[in-house]
Amino acid sequence: MAPLRVLELYSGIGGMHQALKDSCMSAEVVAAVDVNTLANEVYKHNFPGTPLWAKTIEGITLKEFDRLSFDMVLMSPPCQPFTRIGLQGDVSDPRTKSFLYILDILPRLQKLPKYILLENVKGFESSSARNELLQTLETCGFKYQEFLLSPTCLGIPNSRLRYFLIAKFHPTLFSFQVHGEILTRFPDQDLKDLIKDKVADKLDEANYSVLSKEKNLDRSTGPDCSSKKNLPKGAFLFKLETTEEMERKHSQDNDSSIQMLKDFLEEDNEEMNQYFLPPKSLLRYAFLLDIVKPTCRRSTCFTKGYGHYVEGTGSVLQTALDVQCYLYAILDILHSLNQCLNALR
């Protein structure tokens, strides 16, 4: 078979290109399109041989699309119009204009692509933009399936729930297709196992090593993420969280189907010092931070507010495992002081 000709829209730094490469499919990205100059510089570094179009999607004519004669489209349209913490402007948001242009162009192509993959945030599934997408796909004769998936589905310790749609221009349905339903899990266990194996192979190739300090960590005592014992009575609650929230975290950290964070970490080096959280900030915001350790099997999604806001912008990694007792002692004192303040109020 000739390699699939792939068009990568909203290419960013090339995440989808890398995923395509790791899938081992016989494919060639014939054009990548993005207007972000910084992202384009990174993309050129990652994939110097790929034609990169630094222009708006609306600036690409129908003839230019036809000349590419692509078999597959990969795209991740701007998420700001659909994100749950945004204004949710949907199709009225100017940032949706390029996506609507794609939906207008698609039925008019000389040759429809064989496959389409689209990714976006949770919230897209209830948008008018998504409804227009599905209507366009049905008009063109595509078969499609939607998903809401997180990396944890593949054993990766990060919660990042995202919307995915896969479509194919073929008369037969997907073997796992469910009409009118957005799947929240991988329907094919063999496929899930295959992807997890690929992730594991990549980690082996990278030869990530466990931090030497961690080898001496007693995993059966203390508030360690990998503890297999029941939650200790009176265990410390981060972020003034409820017992239920703490139990949920404990359950996640004991889910052996998910890899530990340490499997994805590079060895400690001096350059990492510039990213350390100052002790003053730690003492001030300890109750709001989501603190995880290399032995944890969970972390929260990173957002553009990371480093600018404390809460809800991503987890903070505790690397100084040899001083963990002091850290928890400080946090315990802060917790007690907070209880006293609440009682005085």
**Mean pLDDT: which of 28-42, 234-248, 301-315 is highest?**
28-42
**Mean pLDDT: which of 24-38, 258-272, 306-320 is highest?**
24-38
- Give 262-296 pLDDT, tens digit per residue: 998 887 777 778 888 888 887 777 777 888 889 99
Establish how many alpha carbons lie within 13 A of residue 276's alpha carbon, considering only the half-sphere containing its beta carbon: 12
Q: What is the pLDDT of residue 331?
A: 62
pTM over 0.85: no
- Work out the burial of residue 285: count CB atoms within 10 Å of its CB; fewer than 13 is exposed, 13-18 middle, 19 or more buried: middle
**DSSP code at position 71:** S
> Rounded to whole angstroms, how far apart are CA atoms 82 and 93?
9
Q: What is the pLDDT of residue 227?
A: 40
Overall residue count recorded for the chain in this entry: 345
Kindly state the tokens that stand for 64.
Answer: 């230019």
Question: DSSP assignment of 13-40, as one string?
Answer: TSHHHHHHHHTT-SEEEEEEE---HHHH
Q: Which of 19-23, 24-28, 280-284 has the lowest mean pLDDT?
A: 280-284
**Mean pLDDT: which of 104-108, 121-125, 205-209, 298-302 is highest?**
104-108
**How are strands ordered across the β-sheet holding 4-9?**
52-53, 27-33, 4-9, 72-75, 115-121, 162-168, 143-149, 182-183
Q: What is the pLDDT of residue 226?
A: 39
Q: What is the pLDDT of residue 233?
A: 47
Kindly state the tokens that stand for 67.
Answer: 């000349």
3-state secondary structure 187-208: CCHHHHHHHHHHHHHHHHHHCC
- Give 197-222 pLDDT, tens digit per residue: 655 555 555 443 333 333 333 333 33
Helix (H) or strand (E) holding 341: helix 324-344
> Rounded to whole angstroms, how far apart are CA atoms 226 and 291?
14
> Rounded to whole angstroms, how far apart are CA atoms 272 and 275?
6
Summarize the confidence of residues 8-36 as an average pLDDT. Answer: 96
Name the active-site residue from 24, 79, 296, 325.
Answer: 79
Residue 79: active-site member: yes
* Helix-, strand-, coil-residue percentages of the chain, each rounded to 5: 40, 15, 45
Phi and psi of 4, rounded to 5°? -65, 135
Q: Which domains does the chain have, with CATH numbers?
A: 4-201 (3.40.50.150), 210-344 (3.90.120)
Q: What is the pLDDT of residue 223?
A: 36
> Rounded to whole angstroms, how far apart are CA atoms 120 and 160?
11
